[in-house]
Amino acid sequence: MADRLARRLHRVPPTIFTTMSALAARTGAINLGQGFPDQDGPPSVIEAAVAALRGGRNQYAPGPGVPELREAVARHQRRCYGIDLDPADQVVVTAGATEAIAAAVLGLVDPGDEVAVTEPYYDSYLATIEMAAAVRRPVGMRRVGEEFRLDVDALRATVGDRTKLLLVNTPHNPTGAVLDATERAAIAEVAVRHDVVVVVDEVYEHLVYDGRRHVPLATLPGMAERTLSISSAGKSFSFTGWKVGWVTGPAELVAPVLSAKQWLTFTNAAPLQPAVAHALDHETAYVEELAAGLQSKRDLLCDGLGKLGLDPVRPEGTYFTLSNVSTLGWPDAMSFCEALPGRAGVVAIPTQPFYDDADAGRHLVRWAFCKETSVLERALDQLSNADLTA
Ligand SMILES: *Cc1c(COP(=O)(O)O)cnc(C)c1O
């Protein structure tokens, strides 16, 4: 069957998460691979969804999303960031952030156009850019001591007049970096200079630690008119299975996204959309507690991995830490992750699939800490009783 696969998918490997979650299921290992929480989000939001299911909200929602969710997203952007949006034409609801990204690329990019993208990238970026027949131009995040930072020299060298779109993720999966003021200013500078549209994946906007704040690129001078901001209920409210996301920005950029989106799903999750509106308006405290809890879990996992000689970074945001397995003698992260369920009963994710630059990602393993504390403790216990050397 492989020879029947369309050429546009030849360079897109199957998602590593399917492979590694299947490995976890087969071996009964603790899954610190795929980034989903093991506890559901707020009960009030589930009740709102049940009420919508029982209340006759079960037919197609409008293509751009139900009005109450578009209005709640606009209120959220105003309350959190001072961004003013007209819910009528500056907010579109999507089937998760994933569809928002796909619709943005398909709606704004022609075959052969250059798309600059932060690397390592979320794996759907690669697939989406390939399906759009665009040319991917990675811009690396580099490890500097205990953290990863955007390589701003590489950014300046990569983004130019041929760049149609710059796809940025902050807080950044998998490195955990939250773009700082210098990095944000560099992005705005190159985007304005070369008249580039910037698409920012902000799904971890609220999951930032140590008193940090996420600052949307759309709030920088010259950026509101060229920036699409993408987020989702999955990460903020622990409903990753709902796949309700949204994209916001100037009407001139949101319209092309909607043009593509209407032919992808048209619409989705009608009864869940009002529930997510309820979450955005009423569950701010949940999100704050979630972030505080994740910060403690980050510390638990990073301290534990550090004691095992795995050299983790301490992420500024997201669900993940990266660690370097070359310190234990492994030739690459893939062989480490393949051996790990047998050695320790734990699954983690090799980051090579998230890089064009194979050397940059060769030794990096991603570990998720969005799990119950007892699960993290058990995983660390098993890891510390295992031989983790190559
Ligand atoms: C989880 C994730 C997504 C996908 O979000 P959905 O709302 O589930 O589609 C997109 N981008 C990043 C960086 C993610 O980690």
Domains contained in the chain, CATH given: 7-40+284-384 (3.90.1150.10), 43-283 (3.40.640.10)
Minimum-distance ligand 1 atom for the alpha carbon of 95: 9
Residue-wise pLDDT tens digits, 277-305: 999 999 999 999 999 999 999 999 999 99
Mean pLDDT score, 345-374: 94
Instruction: Pick the more confident residue, 11 or 260.
Output: 260
Distance 203 CA to ligand 1 centre (A): 6
* Predicted pLDDT at 34: 86
Take residue 312 and report the two structure tokens written for it. 């983790």
Q: Candidates 117, 118, 122: which one to mutate for ligand 1, based on the most atoms within 8 Å of Cβ? A: 122
Q: Are 126 and 277 in contact (CB under 8 A)?
A: no
Ligand 1 pocket, Cβ-based, cut-off 6 angstroms: 35, 96-98, 122, 169, 173, 201, 203, 232, 234-235, 240, 243, 245
Measured in angstroms, how far is the CA atom of residue 99 from the centroid of ligand 1?
A: 9
pLDDT tens, position by position, 105-132: 999 999 999 999 999 999 899 999 999 9
| pLDDT at position 21 | 85
Comparing 154 with 35, the larger pLDDT belongs to 154
* Best residue among 119, 169, 172, 201 to mutate for probing ligand 1, ranked by most atoms within 8 Å of CB: 201
Q: What is the mean pLDDT of the chain?
A: 96
pLDDT digits (tens, 9 = 90+) for 130-139: 999 999 999 9
322 CB-near residues (< 8 Å, 6+ apart) = 148, 174, 175, 176, 312, 313, 315, 351, 364, 365, 366, 367
Q: Which of 20-29, 58-67, 355-364 has the highest mean predicted lDDT (pLDDT)?
A: 58-67
| Average of per-residue pLDDT across 142-162 | 95
Given this model, what pLDDT does residue 2 score? 54
Predicted pLDDT of residue 12: 86
Please check whether residue 317 is in contact with residue 176, taking contact to mean a CB–CB distance below 8 angstroms.
Answer: yes
Residue among 34, 93, 232 to mutate when testing ligand 1 (max atoms within 8 A of CB): 232
- DSSP string computed for 270-322: TTHHHHHHHHHHH-HHHHHHHHHHHHHHHHHHHHHHHHTT--B---SBSSEEE
In 3D, which of 278, 270, 390 has the Cα closest to residue 330?
Answer: 390
